[in-house]
Structure 1
Amino acid sequence: MADSGAVDMDIDEVVGELYGLRPSEFIAARDTYAARARSAGDAAAAQRIAGLRRPTLAVWASNLLARRRPAEAEQFLQLGRALREAHRSLDAAQLRDLGHQQHQVMAALAHQARDLAGEAGQSVSDSVVQEVEQILRAVLTDEDVARQWAAGSLEKAPSAPVGFTGLEPAPGVTPARTPPKAPGGQPAPAPPAAPAAPAPGAAGTKRSTRAADKRRAAQLERARAQAREATRQAERADGAVEEAEQAQAEATGRAEESGERVADLEGRLREARQEHRTARTAADLATRELREARAEAKAARRTADTARRALELLSLSAESETEEGPDDGA
């Protein structure tokens, strides 16, 4: 159970903050938040935060674009909503117009993302710009991706979109056909009617229709299966890339930490060597001073011995003179 004194952690705010950081800063900040949640006793929050993946450069640049250019981001989201609605209504003319806008706007926004990344101190290659365009295309086609991107908290690059999947036309809607234009902008005259072919029998017509329906259904199912398999392969590839990037980021972090420790130890070693040299110099000086002191002490002892012998001689001479007494015949 969580500690009653712990402060609840807002996961959405943490996710938003983490995905606003540069990829090189992500791992350390994520681990710090996860450790803080564990210390607070919030195991669920710690698990959620620890499971966040380091964003690729393209994902980070896309999030940066949504955060730093909110007006342009909202216009792009409106374009996506309009495209999805046009697809549902099968409005061919609107789809053509919006599709043309789509390519222009995506290219412009991808280059804005590159500029913003450069301002943040992160260089972005042409291949990353292309990945940003792929992400923006997914924002247009997928409402879930659009919501994450709008918050600037897209966690990973979505699978490459194949058209507007999952957006079925509204019931009863048929594609709107735009009549071709004749030179001068006037509608072209309708083509002459083809001669009527003899009507086949009812049974033959039904069999032909059923056969055609079966062929179309089989083709559609094969296409769907291929699309599903391609999506699965893309997701597996994306997962492998993310895992490799995660491992590379963690290894880089460990290398940086060990490098810092090595630098610290090398600094301490240099200091210890300097202290050793200083101590050795002091020891050599003390040794010389000791030798000099010993020499001085030896000389002093010799001087003392000489003085002592001189004193003894004087003492003996004085005693001898005292014993002989004064000379009477003098």
Structure 2
Amino acid sequence: MDVDADVDAVADELYGLVPARFTEVRDERAAEARKAGRAAAARAIAGLRRPTRAAFVSNLLVRRRPKEVAALLELGEALRQAHRSLDGTQLKDLSHQRHVVVAALARAARQLAEEEGQAVSEGVAREVEQTLHAVLADPDAAERWSSGCLSTALTPPVGFTGLPTSAPARPRPAVTDAGRPTKPKPSREAGQRRARLEQARRTAEETRLEATAREAELRRAEQEQRDHDRMLAEAGSRVAELERQLREARTGQSEARRAAAGATDRVRDAARAAKAAHRRADAAADRLAELPGVEE
């Protein structure tokens, strides 16, 4: 394995880990490369930067949602093409689609991270959205993002909004040698059909992304319900056990009270009997003393 392939394989592994494990595993892989005599690879691996929280969330989205990633890359290419051609109508439609898709993917990324136990603050969520906007605007950013190995969030280029800054110039009709404008070849009906088809495709894609986000929310809610149901069942079991112990303790308390009352009665009876015995003994002693002595 050459150096680049070696480093790429390790990077792919590392940037799939939660940030807390990144440094430890990176150092282990660098040490393994040095031990194997791959000094250049070891230096490159050791230089890999731990991802920020926003970069980790962005990488997680790329790795877990490949279909949505492909759709976003296609949308970015369409947006950039519309900018180049100054197609105002298409830019307006694509810009609306861009906002819907970015919002849906940002929600999906946040849910994926939280399922991994990684909290996502509002600031991190905004960085993830900015990364997605950068992907739509810049092909280099798109390539870096789609690798799933970002170390920091991306920033869209200044001025990219997905809309033309001014209305594109209306193209002048072609002129024949006779000086008469030529008739456009595509029919109006065909153009309308293409527009309806494109709109239907965008609507279907937006709906699919929205459904994906809702499914993720449903899975999260179902998991929360299962967790709460389990906690409720465990709490019910503990309550039942404590109630059983309480009943046993109360039964033991009642038995102890009865035993204590019986012991008290026995002590009282024994004290009376002892007192009576003492009186009889004293009386017997008095009678004995009154008897005449026996002479020998």
User: What letter matches 1:11 in structure 2?
Assistant: V
After TM superposition, the score normalised by the length of structure 2 is 0.52
- The equivalent residue for 1:28 is 24
Is 1:43 the counterpart of 2:39? The answer is yes
User: What letter matches 1:98 in structure 2?
Assistant: L
Cα distance in 2 between the residues matched to 1:159 and 1:7: 32
Is 1:175 the counterpart of 2:168? The answer is yes
User: What letter matches 1:175 in structure 2?
Assistant: P
What SS does the aligned partner of 1:10 have? Answer: helix
User: What letter matches 1:73 in structure 2?
Assistant: V
1:253-264 equivalence runs, <5 A: none
Superposed displacement of residue 158, structure 1: 2.4
Cα distance in 1 between the residues matched to 2:158 and 2:101: 19
Cα distance in 1 between the residues matched to 2:41 and 2:35: 11
Aligned 8 A contact 1:134 1:160 in 2: yes
User: What letter matches 2:67 in structure 1?
Assistant: A
User: What letter matches 1:126 in structure 2?
Assistant: E
After TM superposition, the score normalised by the length of structure 1 is 0.47
Aligned 8 A contact 1:55 1:155 in 2: yes
> Where in structure 1 do 4 or more consecutive aligned residues deviate above 6 Å?
6-9
Aligned 8 A contact 1:61 1:132 in 2: yes
- The equivalent residue for 1:86 is 82
Cα distance in 2 between the residues matched to 1:177 and 1:59: 42
Superposed displacement of residue 148, structure 1: 2.0
Cα distance in 1 between the residues matched to 2:2 and 2:43: 17
TM-aligned CA distance change 1:155 to 1:177, over 3 Å: farther
Is 1:18 the counterpart of 2:14? The answer is yes
- The equivalent residue for 1:123 is 119
Is 1:113 the counterpart of 2:109? The answer is yes
Superposed displacement of residue 53, structure 1: 0.8
Cα distance in 2 between the residues matched to 1:110 and 1:96: 21
User: What letter matches 2:59 in structure 1?
Assistant: N
Aligned 8 A contact 2:138 2:156 in 1: no
- The equivalent residue for 2:145 is 149
From 123, 131, 154, the equivalent of 1:135 is: 131
User: What letter matches 1:24 in structure 2?
Assistant: A
User: What letter matches 2:96 in structure 1?
Assistant: H
1:190-205 equivalence runs, <5 A: none
1:238-277 equivalence runs, <5 A: none
User: What letter matches 2:60 in structure 1?
Assistant: L
Superposed displacement of residue 176, structure 1: 4.5
Aligned 8 A contact 2:80 2:137 in 1: yes
Is 1:53 the counterpart of 2:49? The answer is yes
Q: Residue by residue, what CA displacement relative to the aligned partner does 1:142-198 show, whole Å, maximum 9, x if unpaired?
A: 112211221211232224421359xxxxxxxx93459xxxxxxxxxxxxxxxxxxxx
Cα distance in 2 between the residues matched to 1:16 and 1:146: 17
Superposed CA RMSD in Å reads 2.2
User: What letter matches 2:168 in structure 1?
Assistant: P
How many residue pairs align between the two structures? 165
Structure 1: stretches of 5+ with no match in the other structure = 1-5, 166-173, 179-330
Aligned 8 A contact 1:80 1:140 in 2: yes
Aligned 8 A contact 1:91 1:176 in 2: no
Superposed displacement of residue 23, structure 1: 0.7
1:207-222 equivalence runs, <5 A: none
User: What letter matches 2:64 in structure 1?
Assistant: R
- Rg larger in 1 or in 2? 1
Q: Residue by residue, what CA displacement relative to the aligned partner does 1:227-276 show, whole Å, maximum 9, x if unpaired?
A: xxxxxxxxxxxxxxxxxxxxxxxxxxxxxxxxxxxxxxxxxxxxxxxxxx
Cα distance in 1 between the residues matched to 2:21 and 2:170: 53
Cα distance in 1 between the residues matched to 2:68 and 2:113: 16
- The equivalent residue for 1:100 is 96
Cα distance in 2 between the residues matched to 1:159 and 1:68: 22
Structure 2: stretches of 5+ with no match in the other structure = 162-166, 172-296
User: What letter matches 1:57 in structure 2?
Assistant: R
74-83 or 6-15, which moves further after superposition?
6-15
Cα distance in 2 between the residues matched to 1:113 and 1:7: 33
Aligned 8 A contact 1:92 1:177 in 2: no
TM-aligned CA distance change 1:102 to 1:177, over 3 Å: farther
- The equivalent residue for 1:65 is 61
User: What letter matches 2:102 in structure 1?
Assistant: M
TM-aligned CA distance change 1:22 to 1:127, over 3 Å: same
